[in-house]
Structure 1
Amino acid sequence: MNYKANPEYKHDSPSCTGILITNLGTPDEPTASSVRKYLSEFLSDPRVIELPRYLWWLVLHGIILRTRPSRSAKAYRKIWTESGSPLLSISKKQVLGLQKILTKKIQGPIRIELSMRYGNPSIKSGLKKLQESNANRILILPLYPQYSAATTGSTFDAVTNELKKWRWLPEIRMVNHYHDYPDYIDALKNSIEEYWKHNGRPQKLIFSFHGLPKHYFLAGDPYHCECHKTARLVAEKLKLDQDQWLVTFQSRFGPREWLKPYTDKTLISLAESGVKNINIICPGFSADCLETLEEIDIQNREFFIKAGGEKFNYIPALNDDGDHIELLSNIILKHTNGWPEFSKNWDQEKIETELSKSKERAEKSIYNKN
């Protein structure tokens, strides 16, 4: 094994804390070929599809990657913007917002990089940039509020698989989840109230989370419970009665049973039972993407209206809203507690002096100077 090191490292190179912000990912373009490449990486992850590899390989390459990319590319084209993928462009804004707010809150140097679990920018490239910045400490923050092995767990796999190739390992901390973090709950509540201020209250508020195969939950994945806890805490903050809100799950894939109730079937049932006005929010998505902008706000809107509903409003994800950036910065501060760059006693001049002395000692040692 040829372990990787930072070729630019010197004994007087200043170190920093690296923060790797991650999300799921997106194809580079809304084309069938680009989507095929993206889906191949995504659906080849054993954390995502827990089936025997040989069987799943035949299904994936023999059926799914021959038919699904063109349909998905059509859906992506409906939401693609001049800035490209909504998920990627919003994620970049989130990183810029975090850089700005953390610069005001801390004394020492930090480097924030954005990576996607699948597609670009990759986790490998993000970690490489942090290594080149001489980040001796790295915090991994996946923007999945609710933990699942298929999302957060997979991200940690990708990070550790890359770090196994490094010669000098940094100190690593990983954020597992923040589904019940008070600032997160408040940000969701504020977002909903602000939306209602301009659009009025609905008959029903639906919390739609990305689905998960039911057998993953039965095997011990906490995702289902964390989704329900998030929704319950927000509903309590909004002082909603039990019949004014409900939790559903979207984006199911394949023939097996997934977490219920399903979002699309619930919307149809509500409309057929006489509910005319609903709002839907997707708290598990930190940035708007295909699953919110196309699946929810286009497909599911159509299901509800065709079944007899009259008013369908999607409440946007937290995206780069100020409350969201603030809560993410607080999560970072919480999980970097004790690291020197975040200390109130950080002294840049003292650090530079120590680095200069370190270089002198190293040169004397290497070249046997007196």
Structure 2
Amino acid sequence: MGTMKPTRLNTNATDAKCPAHALHDHPKIPQEKIGVLLANLGTPDATDYWSMRKYLSEFLSDKRVIDYPAWKWQPILQGIILSIRPQKSGAAYRTIWNNDANESPLLTITKQQHQAISAKLGSKFGENIVVDYCMRYGNPSTKSKVAAMIAEGCTKILFFPLYPQYAGATVATANDEFFRALMKENWQPASRTVAPYFDNPQYIDALAQSVERAYASAAKKPNILICSYHGLPARYLTKGGDPYHCQCQKTTRLLKERLGWADTEIMTTFQSKFGPEEWLQPYTVEEVARQAEAGNKSIAVCAPAFSADCIETLEEINEEIKESFEEAGGEDFLYIPCLNDDEAHIDVLTQVIEENLKGWT
């Protein structure tokens, strides 16, 4: 090999050296490593109008999220929606913002997950494993983290979108962004993506443990557990064949079986409806009111589609949906937090990673 310099390799790394049998003038390159890149949905940098507008524009311009033709959708988005929604979303974020770290709870929790997983993998595989995290929308971007991993010497990267269930609007778009980042690299690493893990027995057990702990500490036992999943337009399922709805239903069923409950003690609903068209039903905000009106004055709500608490859980569920329940006559509303950096959850994620690293480590 001659004097061609590899793209963006960190030749100043302490472990950088010339490859075996290289010519004397070959640049030093870092020791080969394996990268594990955790990915979550995203976060605004701040709660002000322009930060929220930038974040929402990126999010709502994603064709995986809103699939309307750009000529039809972008004038509406950039005009009416982004003139109004940033203020409303910013106000919602301010109610849950981590003021100490000046960041969203999703970013705080993702950092905690990253640190815990990095420690576990590092203790087993040593310095040859590089663990990092990125966001599909906002910062840190997927592109920047892929470039950083390659510069550090990662010749293999496992990309892990932190969603238990598959949906085009979550897992697929995260993978899309990962592949787009690879397209920018002249020297691409070998790559793998992680499949959904909604039916992983260890994941279901961790979910069940969180429910059992919450019920054990509740002042009054809930009449029913509402498993609230992020919604999608119904046509994504009926016309596009997206498996998300089925995987959500199966998650609830497996949780029910693990808990040993009757069908009447648990149900599946969907939240975060956006726009005028029909989304997956029943809608959580309507169902909690119906439960209250039917006499179930004590309910619990969990969010099995989210690996970390975020605006959709801390603000939408624990404030808006709770308010809907109470206004309909409900009395006791218990929100069960996401698994976040719970030890059992970290064990699940680490196990999934190790399974997907087989043949590389």
> How far off its partner does 1:108 sit?
5.6
Aligned to 2:76: 59
Aligned to 2:10: 8
Determine the C-alpha separation between the residues in 1 that align with 2:95 and 2:319.
Answer: 9
TM-score, structure 2 normalization: 0.91
Q: Which moved more, 1:4-13 or 1:246-255?
A: 4-13
Larger helix proportion, structure 1 or 2?
1
- Structure 1 pair 4/40, CA: closer, same or farther in 2 (3 Å)? farther
Aligned to 2:320: 299
Aligned to 1:163: 182
Aligned to 1:43: 60
Aligned with residue 30 of structure 1, among 43, 47, 52: 47
Q: Does residue 72 of structure 1 match 2:89?
A: yes
Q: Does residue 216 of structure 1 match 2:239?
A: no
> How far off its partner does 1:168 sit?
1.0
Q: How many residues align?
A: 338
Determine the C-alpha separation between the residues in 2 that align with 1:247 and 1:162.
Answer: 36
Map 1:77-96 → 2, pairs under 5 A: 77-81=94-98, 82-83=100-101, 84-96=103-115
Determine the C-alpha separation between the residues in 2 that align with 1:303 and 1:7.
Answer: 54
> How far off its partner does 1:37 sit?
0.4
Determine the C-alpha separation between the residues in 2 that align with 1:114 and 1:27.
Answer: 16
Partner amino acid for 2:161? P
- Structure 1 pair 4/305, CA: closer, same or farther in 2 (3 Å)? farther
Q: Does residue 284 of structure 1 match 2:305?
A: yes
> How far off its partner does 1:107 sit?
4.6
TM-score, structure 1 normalization: 0.89
Higher RCO (Cα < 8 Å, 6 or more apart): 1
Map 1:103-122 → 2, pairs under 5 A: 103-107=122-126, 109-122=128-141
Aligned with residue 151 of structure 1, among 170, 185, 191: 170
Aligned to 1:240: 261
Aligned with residue 313 of structure 1, among 334, 346, 359: 334
> How far off its partner does 1:4 sit?
8.1
Determine the C-alpha separation between the residues in 2 that align with 1:90 and 1:249.
Answer: 23
Cα root mean square deviation, aligned: 1.3
1:106 match: secondary structure: helix
Determine the C-alpha separation between the residues in 2 that align with 1:154 and 1:259.
Answer: 19
Alpha-carbon displacement from aligned partner over 1:219-251 (angstroms, at most 9, x marks no partner): 200000000111110111001101111100000
Moved over 2 A (4+): 6-13, 104-108
> How far off its partner does 1:182 sit?
1.1
Q: Which runs of 5+ in 1 are unaligned?
A: 343-370
Q: Which runs of 5+ in 2 are unaligned?
A: 12-16, 20-29
1:193 match: secondary structure: helix
Percent sequence identity over aligned pairs: 46
> How far off its partner does 1:259 sit?
0.1
Q: Does residue 265 of structure 1 match 2:286?
A: yes
Q: Does residue 172 of structure 1 match 2:172?
A: no
Q: Does residue 337 of structure 1 match 2:358?
A: yes
Map 1:188-199 → 2, pairs under 5 A: 188-199=207-218
> How far off its partner does 1:11 sit?
3.1
Counterpart contact for 1:4–1:165, Cα < 8 Å: no
Determine the C-alpha separation between the residues in 2 that align with 1:325 and 1:5.
Answer: 34
1:207 match: secondary structure: strand
Q: Does residue 123 of structure 1 match 2:142?
A: yes
